Amino acid sequence: MRHTITNSTRSAGSIITSSTRSAGSIITGSTRSAGSIITGAAAGIAAALMLLVCCALPATAAAQETATLHTSFSPDRLGAPTTIGFSFQVSTPEGAAPPPLVGMDLKMPAGMNYVNTTLGLAICNKGRLLEDGAASCPVNSRLGSGKAYVEVPFGKGAGHELPSITAFMGSPRHENMVILFYVDGRTPVYGQYIFEGEVQPQSGVFGSQLSSSIPEVKSVPGGPNVSIVRAEAKIGPEHLLYNRRVHGKLQHFRPRGIAVPEKCPKGGFPFAATFLFQDGSQAQATSVVPCPKPVIHRHTGRSRQGRGQSGSGHGHHNRARKSSRRGRRPHHG
Look at residue 321 in the predicted model and tell me its pLDDT. Answer: 40
pLDDT tens digit sequence for 289-301? 999 987 665 555 5
pLDDT at 276 over 60: yes
pLDDT at 18 over 70: no
CA–CA distances in Å: residue 181 to residues 23, 48, 312: 34, 42, 28
Q: Give the pTM.
A: 0.69
As a whole-number percent, the residues of the chain with pLDDT over 70 amount to 65
pLDDT at 51 over 60: no
Q: What are phi and psi of 44, to 5 degrees?
A: -65, -40
Mean pLDDT of 207-222: 85
Where are the chain's structural domains?
2-30+65-319
